[in-house]
Structure 1
Amino acid sequence: MKSKKEYRVYFNRWFSVAYHYMNSIRNNEDGLPFKLYGTHPDPRHMALQAADYAATEPVLQGVEYVQWLADFCKEHEIDVFIPRLRMLDIARNIELFDAIGTKVTVCRDVDLLEKISIKDKFYEEVRESGIMEVPAYEVVTDAAGFKQAYERLLAEGHRVCFKPTDSEGGLGFRIVNDQRNALSDLFGYVTNELTFEEAYSILSQADSFPSMMVMELLEGPEYSIDCIADGQGNLHAAIPRRKADGRLRVLEHNEELLAIAQRVAEAYRIPYNFNIQMRYSNGVPKLLEINPRMSGGLHATCLTGINFPYLGVKAALGQPIGELKLEYNMMTSHIELAMRMATFEAGQEREASLAGDRSH
């Protein structure tokens, strides 16, 4: 990339780690100038602290929200839009961004995004394809179904957990543990565990509830595989990141997981940044979920020498990713950093003075 044009990159409502991703793009290895834009309903949100231009988002749904995003991109002449919230709605209405020349780092395969967002449908497709293993599971919508699924998995020798079919991250995830000591729990840390009787009693309060997956609990090492692909979904790099004790993460060269990442890329052609979450069970890696976006821990994976956020932007601009040199097999962690907040009132906009309002 030889041009010295200042590219404009926009993040809509993101997690707080977007602070790191904006700075990774700003401090790119090619020395390209960028102006970073961010919006969020909370004007004090951490994701906005790295933005050169920040504004509050309205709380909207569906195509109305997508239209607001497209209008924002048009008004500010955004070159690359990196969405997090409402990615499926954005993909369904991608023509709004094509019409104004804004590149969007979203998978345009709407059918695939729909399947990924509903975990039981995606698990079934993955099971049939054979590209990787999935946990044993059943989908239930009432307490009787929950009891039946729990008993079947227990009889097969599994510990049991459950989760809504359409949740993100750890939302709604619970572990069934009949060995819990309620008194010890009361004086200890908040837990995501409960007994079968507690879960069954709660679920029995309604005739039915939104579909939920009752699954085998995977208890081996947990991995996030951070991947970068070009705009056509050709995989350029994948880094397995293993959860270790506490805040420790190990960036591993794991041939088994690298092969899975390659098969996923070939099967689904997910462009730009995506993430595969897996966990081992009795030596077998099994799928938890696929996120068609940058993961929450990607800033740790960038320590391998790959600037994942910047490469996603580069690919969106139609530029070659190029040859990548990376370093595996390192342990990482993180600490908090005190900082003075750049704040503004809800409904207002804030534009940082690049000459002096930010130091990194």
Structure 2
Amino acid sequence: MSDNASHIYFNRWFSVAYHYMNMMRDNDEGARFRFYGTHPNIDHLALQACDYAEQEPVLEGTAYVDYAVDFCRKHEIDIFIPRLKMLEIAKEAHRFDDIGTKLMICRDVDLLESVMEKDLFYRKLEGTGIVPLPDYEVVETAEQFKAAYEKLVGLGHRVCFKPTNAEGGMGFRIIDEQIDPLASLYGWVSLSTTFEQAYAALSSAEKFPKLMVMELLEEDEFSIDCLADANGKLLVAVPRRKGAGRVYTLEDLPELQQIARNVAGKFNIPYVYNIQVKYNKGVPKLLEINPRMSGGLFLTCLGGVNMPYLATKAVKGEAFEAPRPTYGVRASYMELPVVLNPIGRTDRN
């Protein structure tokens, strides 16, 4: 490029993309970047790390891909790192290839489709031995919900449920028969509900969007942040324990490293991705796999591995040694004020 900087585009990301852009800038090799971002909310914090930002239109399907291709062509984007519409973009990846924009994305459309519908992904994993799965049932009616709940309780489990296509904790609820309705009105908003409350709500519809009714995993939760090359060869996996009070610890646990190797060997996901597991009765069981940078990756990188920057090298086909993280790092985070700069600024060097 004429400004000797790689042009990187983030579309509608989480606010943590603010950290990832700055981590790429703060690389120890002197590589230069110019960051571009779009989001429907022009005051979104991710855009505050951008050299250029604009308001993103709300579009669906091919119309959105058209917008992204035009944006990449107009701004001579070298690497596009999508979060929104990953599946649609992967399906039309050739359009970005044609204009010289590299994608930091998994191009396995079948895998992306299954990952985005958790029941499909669980079925893909059943019987493979890649990673233990929680006991679960998929339901679409109140009577199916009742039968699934009774079956899981009969197996000795506490029970939770969530939509099959939810991202993060959206729609997640724990069934708890010990709820005191009056006390709950005076306490914090809770993720818990009774079976009768859930059953009554679900009975209001003849059929509802699919829910996974699952064994509640009650022990430690880990996110395993993974860095791979363009072919999906695993270079490093860093497990991050989620503790109480926003405290996270990087831990090198053999069974979690083996899960990361198993997932990489089966699916060959490129660049940066995340495996979430939670223990129950001493067994780490799968929550989900996110084929993108995780929301907590900036904490994992405190172990000395700049995954966002190294992923850009992988996208460009540049060789580098597999990094060695430092384990035992304990970290947390806090809110800090950010003065909002105007849209479309170009004042960064």
Deviation string, structure 1 residues 124-164 (Cα, Å, up to 9, x no partner): 12122111100000000000000000000001100000011
Q: Is the 8 A contact 1:232 1:269 kept in 2?
A: yes
Q: Is the 8 A contact 1:274 1:291 kept in 2?
A: yes
Q: Higher mean Cα deviation, 124-133 or 162-171?
A: 124-133
**Number of matched pairs:** 347
- Displacement of 1:182 in angstroms is 1.1
SS at match of 2:131: coil
Opposite residue 195 of structure 1, the aligned amino acid is T
Residues 221-240 of structure 1: matches in 2 within 5 Å? 221-240=220-239
Determine the C-alpha separation between the residues in 1 that align with 2:223 and 2:297. 9
- Which residue pairs with 1:325 in the alignment? 324
- Which residue pairs with 1:107 in the alignment? 106
Residues 1-360 of structure 1: matches in 2 within 5 Å? 5-344=4-343, 350-355=344-349
Deviation string, structure 1 residues 48-82 (Cα, Å, up to 9, x no partner): 01001111100001111011001100100000000
Determine the C-alpha separation between the residues in 2 that align with 1:188 and 1:323. 48
Determine the C-alpha separation between the residues in 2 that align with 1:262 and 1:314. 21
Q: Is the 8 A contact 2:238 2:325 kept in 1?
A: no
Opposite residue 109 of structure 1, the aligned amino acid is D
- Which residue pairs with 1:347 in the alignment? none
SS at match of 2:214: strand
RMSD value over aligned CA atoms? 1.0
Q: Is the 8 A contact 1:67 1:96 kept in 2?
A: no
Q: Is the 8 A contact 2:236 2:322 kept in 1?
A: no
Q: Higher mean Cα deviation, 312-321 or 280-289?
A: 312-321
- Displacement of 1:100 in angstroms is 0.4
SS at match of 2:153: helix
Determine the C-alpha separation between the residues in 2 that align with 1:339 and 1:61. 31
Determine the C-alpha separation between the residues in 2 that align with 1:321 and 1:87. 27
Q: Is the 8 A contact 1:14 1:47 kept in 2?
A: yes
Determine the C-alpha separation between the residues in 2 that align with 1:305 and 1:235. 17
SS at match of 2:126: helix
Determine the C-alpha separation between the residues in 2 that align with 1:319 and 1:166. 35
- Displacement of 1:339 in angstroms is 2.3
Deviation string, structure 1 residues 71-97 (Cα, Å, up to 9, x no partner): 100100000000000101110111110
Determine the C-alpha separation between the residues in 2 that align with 1:82 and 1:286. 29
Determine the C-alpha separation between the residues in 2 that align with 1:116 and 1:267. 14
Opposite residue 219 of structure 2, the aligned amino acid is G
- Displacement of 1:30 in angstroms is 1.1
Q: What TM-score results when the alignment is normalised by the length of structure 2? A: 0.98
Moved over 2 A (4+): none
Q: Higher mean Cα deviation, 126-135 or 274-283?
A: 126-135
Q: Please list every run of 5 or more consecutive structure 1 residues that lacks an aligned counterpart in the other structure.
A: 345-349, 356-360
Opposite residue 345 of structure 2, the aligned amino acid is E
Q: Is the 8 A contact 2:236 2:324 kept in 1?
A: no
Determine the C-alpha separation between the residues in 2 that align with 1:321 and 1:234. 13
- Displacement of 1:222 in angstroms is 0.2
Determine the C-alpha separation between the residues in 2 that align with 1:236 and 1:84. 22
Q: Is the 8 A contact 1:154 1:160 kept in 2?
A: yes
Q: Please list every run of 5 or more consecutive structure 2 residues that lacks an aligned counterpart in the other structure.
A: none
SS at match of 1:198: helix
Determine the C-alpha separation between the residues in 1 that align with 2:338 and 2:172. 33
- Displacement of 1:343 in angstroms is 3.0
- Displacement of 1:183 in angstroms is 1.1
